[in-house]
A and B are shown apart, each in its own frame.
Chain A
Amino acid sequence: MRIGAARQTYAADEALFETTVQRAWFAGLLAALVAFPFMADAYWLYLACLVAINVASATGLNILTGYTGLVSLGQAAFMGIGAYTVAVLEIRFGTPFLLNLVAAGLLAAAGGILVGIPSLRVKGLYLAIATIAASFILHFVFANWTSVTNGVTGLSMPPARLFGVALDTSFRMYWLIVPVTVLMVMGAANLFRTRIGRAFIAIRDRDISAEVLGIPLLRYKLMSFALSSFYAGVAGGLWAYFFRVVTPESFPLVMSIFYLAAIIVGGMGTILGPILGAAFMTMVPEVLKLGVGWLSPWVPDAVALLSPVRTIVFGALIVGFLVFEPQGLAEIWRRVRRFFHLWPFKT
């Protein structure tokens, strides 16, 4: 517990931010997010948007896997539902993008509830396999429901429009993607201050005990699936608006593994974990590329020679984190913060 942060009310105990300093830092972060697009070039803006989409989806998966303890490898498929929903609504009906995103989330949530039904009977690896099966079924639907999804060719869609302005660049998309992601992360953070969120945690820690405490397991597990898939659906919708081409191959199984890896590397069961994990998984390959490019003046054709090494380093970094920091990047962050709480009195 922090020095000078004595809590005297239950409300203070549940507050998202314990101190004024924390609130000030958060305001600083928001200000930095607002300032970022004016300082970054198209490449960094593109990466920022990609990280934000991945953060939104990873946060959803964290609700299900990190907080409720239900392993899912169907996150990419739920993103696919969201992306196709947005693409179809945008192309056929031209409905406003915010409505499309909500519809994407709701439809994905419905899909999540269906897939989550076996979760009362199966857990752990068995549930993971059940969700893989669901993702194969959804892939089949995307590839073969030609009248809606346009089959393997997929759908190319127009950009989202806001007051007549087409959101067709990373700079413009940033103002859609990042606020939506911030809202979603704040939503997730608040969720665990409510009965629902606490019920999820109780289920994760011991589902039988949770049931004894009066938590209806099926209802809450399905709710967790629905929420997680809602996040995936909205993230998929944002993805569709960002890339503007949706094909069955856009959301492969390996993408679900990516999100699972992101929350494990970041730290499961924390709000910060998926943010750091998604940023790490998205950015490290790019930073390693920069490193390889940096060696170019000294190593001729460095990119060609060192690209395979780069993928090995990325893999080794993930393994390294799992071995040396099993609590994830969020734990490193906490440790750094603890250091500064007492600095300069203790270093």
Chain B
Amino acid sequence: MLVTRRTMLGLAMAAGAAMVAAPPAVAADDIVIGGSIPMTGVFAFAGVGIHAGIGDYVKIVNDAGGIKGRKIKYVYEDTGYKVDASVAAFQKLTSQEKPNFYYGDSTGFSKTINPELERNGNILMAGASFASELNDPQKYPYQFMAGPDYTAMFGVLLRYIQKTQPGAKVAFVHSDTEFGRDPIKPSTALAASLGLKVVETIVTPPGSVDVSTEVLKLRRADPDFTIFHGYVLAPIPEFITQARQMNMKSRFMGTFWSMDHSMVMKLGDVGEGFMGVMPYRYYYDTDPKAPMLAKIRQMRPEYQSTAYMQGFVTAMLFVEAAKRCVESGKELNGKNLKGCLNGIKDFDTGGLFGVPITVSGNSIPVGRVYRADMKAKTMVPVSDWIKAE
């Protein structure tokens, strides 16, 4: 059959119309978690894990009967890690599904959607961002983060440094982005108050490759510890490789998004001893105090990233807030859900956080320092769980 342009146009229009007409389906008493999830784009490595984490926890709760018989429904859209696409997903899901909770994929989205959250008043939101700016319950009343903000992450690292080497010289290397600059100013002040010397602050473009001049700067400063922030991988391997070639003795550290096991292992031999802050236990942690990890390993025998843990814990906190509201007979709106979330005290996450957690504001300022053991190919804890307040 000859396919003419007109036939193609007709087929395309018919397909388009069929797609637009796809019906949504949600039971009236379902508790809905919506999500703008970056399944594609630069943040897809995390988005895929976050999606699996949220989905798995929702499945666990539903398999156990839901919340007083009410099922949890998880609906999401891919955003490609673009703010306008994230907002489109939010508008679409809020129009069709009336979510009670929402997972946002970036700081930009969290800030952009905040006025809409306040106007809507029915949604409690968390997300992939640990931006310090969002940790303000006055400015962001319907949001929280399932872990410490970036400033608190630096706080955990700096407290660890102070304990292991008082008066140490510290350097900060961060990307020239909102993400990269986030904790630098308050952390410089905190370092001074802890008696640590910040000897150098280096700014690079995100994902830069040639960092030879920056490494020379770092060498001149000769820090005992160098903390990277605002990167996922590049330029961290290049920095460490060149620094090792120059016989620098500095110990290198990272924050949450550069601390996934698979990311650190990509550093290869130069990554030996790389340290960083992590609010959750790693997938392979067999501590008997972490039964939830055993359950996760049972569901998914292959390694799950720290992004998975973040999604899983976020869903757990969503469900816990909903549970508390449902049990106390409160309406599920943003204000009540936030109130119920903030009522969580000494809550056991099944060992995902190493200590019982309390959600007093918009964050959970707890973390632990891990070190890479390249021979054993694992991240090994080198500190106890540290509170950054």
**B133 interface neighbour in A43, A47, A153, Cβ under 8 Å:** A153
A303, B39: Cβ atoms under 8 Å?
Answer: yes
Say whether B115 faces chain A, with CB atoms less than 8 Å apart: yes
* CB proximity of B295 to chain A, nearest CB, Å: 20
Q: Which secondary structure characterizes the binding site on chain A?
A: helix
**Known interface pairs A46-B91, A143-B176; A307-B115 also in contact (CB < 8 Å):** no
Say whether B95 faces chain A, with CB atoms less than 8 Å apart: yes
Say whether A209 faces chain B, with CB atoms less than 8 Å apart: no
A153, B20: Cβ atoms under 8 Å?
Answer: no
**Known interface pairs A294-B18, A304-B48, A307-B78; A247-B40 also in contact (CB < 8 Å):** no
Say whether B345 faces chain A, with CB atoms less than 8 Å apart: no
A170, B91: Cβ atoms under 8 Å?
Answer: yes
Say whether A152 faces chain B, with CB atoms less than 8 Å apart: yes
Say whether A287 faces chain B, with CB atoms less than 8 Å apart: yes
B91, A310: Cβ atoms under 8 Å?
Answer: no
**Known interface pairs A46-B87, A152-B178, A286-B88; A244-B112 also in contact (CB < 8 Å):** yes
CB neighbours (8 Å) of A170 from chain B are: 91
CB neighbours (8 Å) of A156 from chain B are: 111, 114
User: Considering only CB atoms and an 8 Å cut-off, how many residues of chain A contact the other chain?
Assistant: 40
B16, A304: Cβ atoms under 8 Å?
Answer: no
Complex-state Cα separation, A156 to B139, whole angstroms: 11
- Bitwise, A138-162 to B at CB < 8 A (1) or not (0) is 0000010000000111101001000
Complex-state Cα separation, A41 to B39, whole angstroms: 25
**Known interface pairs A143-B176, A152-B181, A307-B40; A46-B19 also in contact (CB < 8 Å):** no
**B19 interface neighbour in A244, A250, A294, Cβ under 8 Å:** A294
Complex-state Cα separation, A170 to B120, whole angstroms: 13
Complex-state Cα separation, A170 to B20, whole angstroms: 20
B78, A303: Cβ atoms under 8 Å?
Answer: yes
Q: Which residues in window 21-51 of B have CB below 8 A to A?
A: 22, 39-40, 44, 48, 51
B84, A50: Cβ atoms under 8 Å?
Answer: yes
A245, B112: Cβ atoms under 8 Å?
Answer: yes
A243, B119: Cβ atoms under 8 Å?
Answer: no
Q: Which residues in window 249-282 of A have CB below 8 A to B?
A: 249-250
Q: Which residues in window 157-171 of A have CB below 8 A to B?
A: 159, 168-170
Q: Which residues in window 57-94 of B have CB below 8 A to A?
A: 76-78, 80, 83-85, 87-88, 91-92, 94
B178, A289: Cβ atoms under 8 Å?
Answer: no
* CB proximity of A106 to chain B, nearest CB, Å: 26
B78, A250: Cβ atoms under 8 Å?
Answer: no
Say whether B382 faces chain A, with CB atoms less than 8 Å apart: no
Say whether A30 faces chain B, with CB atoms less than 8 Å apart: no
B133, A289: Cβ atoms under 8 Å?
Answer: no
CB neighbours (8 Å) of B112 from chain A are: 243-245
Say whether A291 faces chain B, with CB atoms less than 8 Å apart: yes
B95, A285: Cβ atoms under 8 Å?
Answer: no
CB neighbours (8 Å) of B114 from chain A are: 156
User: Considering only CB atoms and an 8 Å cut-off, how many residues of chain B contact the other chain?
Assistant: 37
* CB proximity of B314 to chain A, nearest CB, Å: 17
**A247 interface neighbour in B18, B119, B178, Cβ under 8 Å:** B178
**Known interface pairs A153-B133, A245-B111, A303-B78; A168-B119 also in contact (CB < 8 Å):** yes
Say whether A37 faces chain B, with CB atoms less than 8 Å apart: no
Say whether A4 faces chain B, with CB atoms less than 8 Å apart: no
B83, A159: Cβ atoms under 8 Å?
Answer: no
A293, B22: Cβ atoms under 8 Å?
Answer: yes
CB neighbours (8 Å) of B40 from chain A are: 307-308, 310-311
CB neighbours (8 Å) of B181 from chain A are: 151-152
Q: Which residues in window 164-200 of B have CB below 8 A to A?
A: 176-178, 181
Say whether B121 faces chain A, with CB atoms less than 8 Å apart: no
CB neighbours (8 Å) of A247 from chain B are: 108, 111, 178
A303, B77: Cβ atoms under 8 Å?
Answer: yes
Complex-state Cα separation, A290 to B115, whole angstroms: 26
**Known interface pairs A168-B119, A307-B39; A250-B83 also in contact (CB < 8 Å):** yes
Say whether B263 faces chain A, with CB atoms less than 8 Å apart: no
Complex-state Cα separation, A159 to B119, whole angstroms: 12
B95, A43: Cβ atoms under 8 Å?
Answer: yes
B80, A285: Cβ atoms under 8 Å?
Answer: yes
Complex-state Cα separation, A154 to B39, whole angstroms: 26
22 example contacts (A-B, Cβ-Cβ < 8 A) are as follows A47-B88, A50-B88, A153-B178, A154-B111, A170-B91, A245-B108, A245-B112, A248-B178, A249-B108, A249-B177, A289-B77, A289-B78, A290-B20, A291-B15, A293-B19, A293-B22, A294-B18, A294-B22, A307-B78, A310-B40, A311-B40, A311-B80
Closest 7 CB pairs of A and B: A307-B39, A43-B92, A290-B19, A152-B178, A307-B78, A46-B91, A43-B91
Please give 15 more A-B residue pairs, beta carbons under 8 A apart, in addition to A143-B176, A152-B177, A289-B77.
A43-B88, A43-B95, A46-B88, A152-B181, A244-B112, A247-B108, A247-B111, A247-B178, A248-B178, A249-B178, A250-B83, A250-B108, A286-B88, A290-B20, A307-B40
